[in-house]
């Protein structure tokens, strides 16, 4: 069963980039999609374009998130919300950035999964999609962001063991450089971007990642 075979989905970090592309793709396949993000104006535009349901929420507010996510009873969770600088060593990291990165990329993701799992297990079907990164698999001079995505990788592998036999699937998507607003903000060094170009490996798009998610 692929994600497009389910009836409903919840996507975090849905106001732009990969999240918005996933919402659009799932809506086009007939799913009822709940889009969650902080930016109300972006969500309104997304709803007008796709017909998704919108929820203005900061996923770092785990109490509000637990209440909302637990009430929706969705078949699919796409854990996409994320922040951080993709290229930043730990000695150079700002303490506030560290806390925000872990709160958004790790703590919120754990709470999101816990909130939706009960109904999925009761129904005997569901799909958890965690948006990870190659930065969580290999050393890439990204001490804070990489650590947060490394946590997502281990959460995903552990969940597969914990949910074996329940009918709930777990997928982790680990992309490299994706041309998004997040990428533009995370890698803001023109010289570094030029060096990336010299490798001959171009960035993929949000739609590319969305397609891989809906295929999963």
Paired tokens of 23 = 């919402």
For residue 53, what are its two tokens?
């349901």
| Known active-site residue 145 | yes
Q: Are 22 and 213 in contact (CB under 8 A)?
A: yes
C-alpha pair distances (Å), 141 with each of 128, 192, 203: 28, 12, 18
Output b/e per residue, 69-93; b: 16+ Cβ within 10 A. beebbbbbbbbbbbbbbbbbeeeeb
Catalytic one among 6, 145, 183, 215? 145
| Closest listed residue to residue 207, CA positions, set 22, 8, 38 | 22
Positions marked catalytic? 145
């Amino acid at each position: 069963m692929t994600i497009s075979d389910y009836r409903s989905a919840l996507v975090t970090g849905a106001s732009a980039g990969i999240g918005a592309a996933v919402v659009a793709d799932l809506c086009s396949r007939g799913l009822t999609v709940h889009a969650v993000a902080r930016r109300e104006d972006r969500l309104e535009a997304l709803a007008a374009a796709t017909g998704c349901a919108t929820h203005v929420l900061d996923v770092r507010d785990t109490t509000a998130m637990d209440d909302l996510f637990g009430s929706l009873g969705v078949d699919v969770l796409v854990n996409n919300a994320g922040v951080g600088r993709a290229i930043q060593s730990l000695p150079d990291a700002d303490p506030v950035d560290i806390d925000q990165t872990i709160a958004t990329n790790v703590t919120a993701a754990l709470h999101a999964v816990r909130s939706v799992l009960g109904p999925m297990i009761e129904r005997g079907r569901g799909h958890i999609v965690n948006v990870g990164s190659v930065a969580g698999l290999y050393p890439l001079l990204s001490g804070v962001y990489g650590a947060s995505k490394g946590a997502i990788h281990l959460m995903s592998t552990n969940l597969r063991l914990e949910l074996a036999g329940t009918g709930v699937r777990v997928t982790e998507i680990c992309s490299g450089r994706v041309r998004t607003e997040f990428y533009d903000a995370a890698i803001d060094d023109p010289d570094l971007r030029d060096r990336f170009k010299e490798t001959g490996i171009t960035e993929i798009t949000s739609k590319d990642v969305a397609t891989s998610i809906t295929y999963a």
